[in-house]
């Protein structure tokens, strides 16, 4: 007999049970809270789970839409190209959602989901939100862009967008935009990097100043973990 303290084997739960648990998890305001039911859904890349996620994305309740988007974000393992089992069907739906989503929290997850599915075809659509009025949306643009740009040489307008995000009001957005610009993107013009680093020498955020100093001193910055908004 299982005692109340025994861990539940989530893999044995029905999809409906996992969905109920995951909805409760994503409804919590703190995005750093564990989401074990959602993770279990990611490990179940079936047509049933995908179809449920698609239906959720169209719901009136923002929490349900968020759940649908976050299921699509990491549904199944990605291949060498960064695509997941349902990326081909899910990406157009996510791109369409960009113009329809009014909730900034959900919109941020839509942008993140495009990055996690390496939807390079969505680069232009995502760049439209680089100056969105809500910080959460701009943060997700900064973190998603490295997965949306050309791996060999970043598109100039994408590099400029990251430079702009390095001047954002929110320190988390500046930090991840800077990491993307100096560590994750290829082919960024040296002059753009130099100007960006110079602009951030006296940034009010200590971790950003340390990253800038490391880059200027030896060109090999090491960035540590930083909590997501």
Same domain membership, residue 132 and residue 42? yes
Domain shared by 39 and 144, yes or no: yes
Could you tell me if 164 and 229 lie in one domain? yes
Residue 1 lies in a domain: no
In a domain, 28, yes or no: yes
Q: Determine the average pLDDT of the residues in 83-108.
A: 97
Residue 28 has a pLDDT of: 87
Token pair for residue 175? 């930090």
Q: What was the pLDDT predicted at 223?
A: 56
Nearest one of 190, 125, 208 to 154, comparing CA atoms: 190
Same-domain pairing of 102 and 175: no
pTM: 0.91
Q: How many domains does the chain have?
A: 2
Rounded Cα distance, 155 and 165, in Å: 16
Asked whether residue 160 falls in the same domain as residue 143, the answer is no
**Does residue 220 carry a pLDDT above 60?**
no
| Poorest-pLDDT segment among 26-35, 49-58, 81-90, 135-144 | 26-35
What is the predicted pLDDT for the residue at 157?
Answer: 97
Same domain, 136 and 39: yes
pLDDT at residue number 68: 98
Q: How far is CA 97 from the centre of its chain?
A: 15
* Cα 75 from Cα 155, distance rounded (Å): 28
Q: Cβ atoms within 10 A of the Cβ of 170, count?
A: 16
Rounded to an integer, what distance in angstroms lies between the CA atom of residue 33 and that of residue 142?
22
Quick one: 117 and 17 in the same domain?
A: yes
Of 100, 115, 148, the residue that ends a domain is 148
Mean pLDDT of all residues in the chain? Answer: 93
**Which range of residues forms the domain containing residue 172?**
152-229
Q: Residue 110 belongs to a domain with what CATH number?
A: 1.25.10
Are residue 34 and residue 110 in the same domain, yes or no? yes
Taking the C-alpha atoms of residue 144 and residue 123, their distance in angstroms, rounded to an integer, is: 9
The 3-state secondary structure of the chain reads CCCCCCCCCHHHCCHHHHHHHHHHHHCCCCCCCCCHHHHHHHCCCCHHHHHHHHHHHCCCCHHHHHHHHHHHHCCCCCCCCCCCCCHHHHHHHHHHHHCCCCCHHHHHHHHHHHHHCCCHHHHHHHHCCCCCCCHHHHHHHHHHHHHHCCCCCCCHHHHHHHHHHCCCCCHHHHHHHHHHHHHHCCCCCHHHHHHHHHHCCCCCCHHHHHHHHHHHHHCCCCCCCCCCC
- For residue 48, tell me if it sits in a domain: yes
Give pLDDT, residue 8.
Answer: 81
Asked if residue 195 and residue 118 are part of one domain, the reply reads: no
Give the count of beta carbons closer than 10 Å to the beta carbon of residue 147.
19
CA dist 111 and 171 (Å) reads 19
CB 130 within 8 A of CB 122: no
Question: To which residue do tokens 């039911």 refer?
Answer: 37
> What pLDDT score does 30 carry?
81
Least confident of 68-77, 153-162, 169-178, 216-225: 216-225
Indicate if 182 and 102 belong to the same structural domain.
no
Q: What is the pLDDT of residue 3?
A: 43
């Amino acid at each position: 007999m299982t005692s109340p303290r025994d861990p539940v084997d989530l893999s044995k739960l029905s999809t409906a049970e996992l969905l109920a648990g995951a909805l409760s998890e994503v409804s919590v305001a703190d995005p750093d809270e564990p989401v074990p039911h959602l993770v279990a859904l990611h490990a179940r890349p079936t047509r049933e789970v995908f179809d449920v996620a698609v239906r959720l994305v169209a719901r009136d309740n923002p929490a349900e839409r968020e759940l649908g988007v976050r299921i699509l974000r990491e549904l199944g393992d990605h291949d060498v190209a960064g695509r997941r089992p349902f990326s081909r069907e899910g990406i157009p739906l996510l791109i369409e959602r960009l113009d329809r989503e009014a909730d900034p929290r959900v919109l941020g997850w839509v942008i993140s989901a495009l990055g996690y599915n390496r939807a390079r075809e969505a680069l232009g659509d995502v760049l439209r939100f680089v100056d969105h009025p809500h910080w959460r949306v701009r943060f997700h643009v900064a973190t998603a862009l490295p997965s949306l740009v050309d791996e060999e040489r970043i598109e100039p307008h994408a590099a400029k967008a990251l430079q702009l995000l390095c001047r954002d009001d929110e320190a988390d957005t500046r930090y991840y935009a800077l990491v993307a610009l100096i560590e994750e993107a290829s082919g960024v013009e040296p002059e753009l990097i130099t100007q960006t680093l110079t602009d951030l020498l006296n940034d009010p955020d200590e971790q950003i100043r340390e990253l800038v100093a490391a880059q200027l001193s030896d060109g090999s910055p090491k960035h540590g973990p930083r909590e997501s908004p």
